[in-house]
Amino acid sequence: MKLTFQQDALLNGINIVLKAVSSKTTMTILECIFIDASSSEIKLTANDMELGIETKVEGTILERGKIALEAKLFSEIVRKLSSEGNSLITIESDEKFTTTISCEKSVFDIQGRDGEEFAYLPYIERDNYICLSQFSLKEVIRQTIFSIAPNDSNKMMTGELFQVTGNQLKVVSLDGHRISIRNIELKDTYHDIKVIVPGKTLNEISKILDGDNEKEVLIFFSPNHILFEFGDTIVVSRLIEGDYFRIDQMLSSDYETKILVNRKELLSCLDRATILVRENDKKPLIINVEDQEMQLKINSSFGSMNAEMSIHKTGRDIMIGFNPKFLIDALRIIDDEEVALYMLNAKTPCFIRDEEGKYIYLILPVNFNAASV
């Protein structure tokens, strides 16, 4: 095999597939990037058996072939071969898989692996799918991914529900303390679909997507896998098995208090309050709503903060406590100038939602001692 590339093009392809290289495995072949130049195109692939990424790279095929190269070593060599970025890189391997990577006056010889040993991406049927813009997918991930659980104590909570009904896509995430829901209207009508996509997969996809509203993503579904196809890249992931939580039972339209508040003003106030809170600090933010005013109070071992804001309130006065981080996370990814908070009492969830139902954020309150406030 003998190939030539522009350094920028090769490095971009490597950076895309690196996201699927296994870091903890007993199968050393999964620590490799597979270069397939056996046909008229050059493809790079990485696969950790849960997540697989394949991307096409522009280059010249002088001799066809396949090779698997240790990913970390390969990427470091290509990155440091030249500081120009537009330099020409040549990759050549022999029948014993010894691989020479050269650029200008630098030459590296490394030992590759037989490409036939590499685990190919699973085949996915292309008949059950949806289509949306790169911008929409990147946004819906950004607007929900923060509320998945960070560990595997409950596998369901480490993924997101993708539910298609007609021309509507609903994406849901939760971590036991909050729920994020986003609804997107699709251009076409599709078969009903309900799958749980790993959060890791969605995180990595959001890093690759350029977010262009004119470019589309095709998402294909099979019983065990999901495939994202956009540009020159394909991402295949295992799905999380099981039935997702019954979210509709957790949502209620009942409320005793509705607050309309300027989003940026509330967010700024919450940011100031968290100056006094450290990572493991359990101190709640107390919100006291009286008439058309909202008071925010927090006490921690570092000090206290009190702030007041003008609001528009309908319904009863209320005093309720929250983890301020959960409110901040939700408010940061809402674009509306004004947000509506709905509350029933101090022990039931607060809902942040819009009139059209494009987003719903549910946040559980925190118990506090009213006498100490």
* Percent of the chain's residues with pLDDT above 70: 99
For residues 167 and 146, give the distance between their C-alpha atoms in angstroms, rounded to a whole number.
25
Query: Quick check: 355 and 253 in contact, CB under 8 A?
Result: no
**Rounded to an integer, what distance in angstroms lies between the CA atom of residue 225 and that of residue 35?**
23
Lowest average pLDDT, out of 27-41, 218-232, 291-305, 341-355, goes to 291-305
Least confident of 37-41, 83-87, 111-115: 83-87
* Percent residues over pLDDT 90 in the chain: 83
What does the pLDDT read at residue 282?
74
Mean pLDDT of 249-273: 93
Q: What is the pLDDT of residues 70-89, one digit of tens each?
A: 999 999 999 999 877 789 99
pLDDT of residue 74: 97
> What integer pLDDT is reported at residue 370 of this predicted model?
55
Task: Name, of 24-33, 118-127, 337-346, 363-372, the range with top average pLDDT.
Answer: 337-346
Contact 287/294 with Cβ under 8 angstroms?
A: yes
Q: What is the pTM of this model?
A: 0.93
Each residue's pLDDT tens digit, 289-325? 999 999 999 988 888 899 999 999 999 999 999 999 9
Does residue 248 have a pLDDT over 80? yes
Contact 110, 70 (CB under 8 A): yes
Q: What does 63-94 look like in DSSP terms, one character per residue? A: E-EEEEEEHHHHHHHHHHS-SSSS-EEEEEE-
Cβ-based neighbours of 364, under 8 Å, separated by 6 or more = 177, 178, 349
Give residue 371's pLDDT: 42
Q: How far apart are CA 322 and CA 129, in angstroms?
A: 40
- Res 68: pLDDT: 97
CA angle (201 as vertex; 196, 204 as ends), nearest 5 = 150
188: exposed, middle or buried (Cβ count in 10 Å: 0-12, 13-18, 19+): exposed
Across 340-360, average pLDDT: 96
pLDDT for 199 beyond 80: yes
